[in-house]
Amino acid sequence: MRWRVVAGIAAIAVIAVVAVVWPRQRAHSTYTPKSAALRRPDIFLYAPRSLPPTALVFFFGNDIGFWQAHQEIAEFLADNGYAVAGLNVRPLVATLPDAPSGTRDSAIARSLEGLIAESRAEFQASDKPLVLMGHSLGAEIAVWAAANVRAPGLAGVVAISTRSRGHLRATLADIANKGEPTEPGSFSVPEIVRSLPANVRIALVRGDHDKFRSADAAIVAAGGSRVERMIVPFASHSLKSVFVARYIIRRAVGWVVARASK
C-alpha cells in the first residue's frame, strides 16, 4: 500500500513539473492593449478584425495556465467577431493565500471586476454582452465569478469540462485530475448555477470521454432550461481535439449571447 501512495505522489509531482516547464504550449497575445492595466503576463488579448465586437468573452484558463489550446480557441472566436480576454488563473488564485476565505474571495472578486471593466473599455465593448468562459478549474471559477463578481451585461457562462465542485486554488490534485475539492471554501457548481439570475445562461461544453461528465446531470437539473449541454466528440477532459472543440465552443458562445439580444 505504501508504494502505491509514494507512486501516486511521484506521479503528481511529475505532472506538476511538466506543467511548469511546458514552453511549447504557452500562449501569447495577438493584440497590444492601450491600457497599462492589461499589460501583464497573465492576461492574453485577442481582438476581432473591427471594433466594437459582438461580445466580450472573458476566458479563464485551467490549472496549468492559459496555454496554446486556449489561444487557438480565443483566436478562432476573435476571427468570428468576438473580443477575448484570456486569464492565467494561477497567479489570480495565489492572491492572499493565507487570508481568511471571505477576505481572499473578496480580493479575487475585486481583481476580476477591474480586469473585466478594463477589457470592456479596451475593446469598446461597454454596452456589449459579456460571456464568462473557462476550462476545467477555469470553468468552475467562471461559474463562481458569475455569482460573486459585479459584471454588468453578463449574458452567461460557457463552462468547458467543469467538475461538480470547484475552489479558488490551483493544486497538484487539480493538475493530476485527481477527484474534486471538498475542503472548506470549496463550492458546489450546481448550487451556484441554481442561485444565478434567471436571465443568465449556462452552456456546458464536454468531451464525450471526460471523466467528470457525470457532473452534468446535477448542473442541468439546477439550471433547467437555462442550461444547454454540448458534446465534443472524441475528446477528453483536456479537449486537445481543438479543431473540433472550437466550433462547438463558438456555438456555445453564440447560444449564450443570443439571450442578450432578446
**Taking the complete model, does pTM exceed 0.85, yes or no?**
yes
Q: Give residue for cell 471571505.
A: 102
How close are the terminal C-alpha atoms of the chain, in Å?
A: 58
At residue 241 the predicted structure's pLDDT band, cuts being 50, 70 and 90, is low
Q: What residues contact 70, with CB distance under 8 A and at least 6 apart?
A: 27, 44, 59, 61, 62, 86, 135
What's the pLDDT at 114?
97
What's the pLDDT at 261?
66
Domains observed in the chain: 26-260 (3.40.50.1820)
The answer to whether the beta carbons of residues 210 and 236 sit under 8 Å apart is yes
Question: How far is residue 19's CA from residue 59's CA, in Å, rounded to a whole number?
Answer: 19
Residue/partner pairs of 190-193 with CB below 8 Å, 24 or more apart: 190/164, 190/218, 190/219, 190/221, 190/222, 191/222, 192/143, 192/144, 192/146, 192/147, 193/143, 193/219, 193/222, 193/223, 193/227
The percent of residues in the chain predicted with pLDDT above 70, rounded, is 89
Question: How far is residue 184's CA from residue 176's CA, in Å, rounded to a whole number?
Answer: 21
Of 104-108, 176-180, 213-217, 244-248, the range with the lowest mean pLDDT is 176-180
pLDDT digit string, tens, across residues 149-205: 999 999 999 999 999 999 999 888 888 888 899 998 899 999 999 999 999 999 999
Treating both helix axes as pointing N-terminal to C-terminal, what angle do 101-122 and 137-148 enclose, rounded to 10 degrees? 90
pLDDT digit string, tens, across residues 40-95: 999 999 999 999 999 999 999 999 999 999 999 999 999 999 999 999 999 999 87
Whether residue 222 is predicted with pLDDT greater than 80 in this model: the reply is yes
At residue 18 the predicted structure's pLDDT band, cuts being 50, 70 and 90, is very low
Question: How far is residue 158's CA from residue 257's CA, in Å, rounded to a whole number?
Answer: 10
Residue/partner pairs of 240-243 with CB below 8 Å, 24 or more apart: 240/69, 241/207, 242/69, 242/72, 242/73
Of 30-34, 137-141, 224-228, 243-247, the range with the lowest mean pLDDT is 243-247
Give the H or E element holding residue 155: strand 154-160
Whether residue 13 is predicted with pLDDT greater than 60 in this model: the reply is no
pLDDT digit string, tens, across residues 101-158: 678 899 999 999 999 999 999 999 999 999 999 999 999 999 999 999 999 999 999 9
**Short-list 31, 249, 261, 29, CA closest to 124:** 31
What's the pLDDT at 129?
98
